[in-house]
Amino acid sequence: MRYQLPFDAKALAIFVAVVETRSMSDAAKKLAMTQSAISQAIKMLETELGVTLLDRSMRPMQVTVAGNAVYSSASRWLSEMTALRNQLSTASTRRLPLLRCGLVDSFASTGGPSLIKHIADRAENLSVISGVSPIMWEGIRNRDLDLAITMPPPAPIPGVSQFPLLQEAYVLALPKRFNTEYKELETLVQLLAFIRYSGRTPSGTEAENYLKWLRLQPGPGLEFDTADAVLSMVASGLGWTMTTPLCLLQAKSHLANVKCEPLPGPPVYRQLVIMCRTGELGKLPEEVAAIAKRILREEAFQEVSQYATWFQEEHFRSQ
């Protein structure tokens, strides 16, 4: 008895790429195909399935209800097929042919070197990039990355698993020469300018939301994407900021002129997770998580404690 799929598997993979890149032209670049070939494959898939997958009357085009249903199942199926391929590959070699990792900046510059030393032998070729969390999310979403250490995205990504890694408390960073007593953030808001992480970063959004929750509204001022830039402004005496232990270590060249203190009032935490496509890397994500937790506990925690003697395990917890 012959079995025939009701669709072309390659066309299904092309459709998933179009949805994940949100563009036929971007999908064409990613798959090294022409845009016309992409369009023809999608039309063929729609004909085979008897449904419209993309609403081309809208700009940009939108995925239909049927298209979302197909994408959800197709993405899961492709993940399972990739997982099978990796299992077959690693069964004989015990090493992945290629592992593409993304590390959020604050981890890359602190625990990154130790982690890379520990996992370098897990793949024939290891590719590592760093950047802000949204870059990590898009890398995993678009399959440009296999594994990422990052802050969790605001909403789950279909077909992607998350493994908890770290919960670190936000702390205050003040100019070294600031000696005025204060018991609440309202005093700091009145006395010093607030140096922001930009709204393009999840840390910036979390800090702003926390201040709004306290009904505090620092005036407009300086904002930057990186911890190094933010902490350099604080070190020069231009203001204060909310930051995290790993971000302090990322910018430790400035810490001689920075005073680190606990956040007054209710605590707020930043989370780091490991993200990867569900089932595609076997036990590797759990192994990487265990290694990263040990590095954070044995290296990062001890180093932060040198700059903040009040620092406790409750401020920096493995999950």
User: pLDDT of 229-288, one tens digit each?
Assistant: 999 999 999 999 999 988 988 888 898 999 999 988 888 899 999 999 988 888 889 999
Rounded Cα gap, residues 26 and 53, in angstroms:
18
Query: Does the structure show a pLDDT above 60 at 294?
Result: yes
Omega prior to 60 cis, within 30 of 0: yes
Count of helices and strands (H, E) across the chain? 13, 13
Rounded Cα gap, residues 174 and 259, in angstroms:
5
87: confidence class by pLDDT, cuts 50, 70, 90: low
**% pLDDT > 70, the chain:** 94
pLDDT tens, residue by residue, 159-186? 899 999 989 899 999 999 998 888 888 9
- The pLDDT of residue 1 is 38
Rounded Cα gap, residues 218 and 103, in angstroms:
31
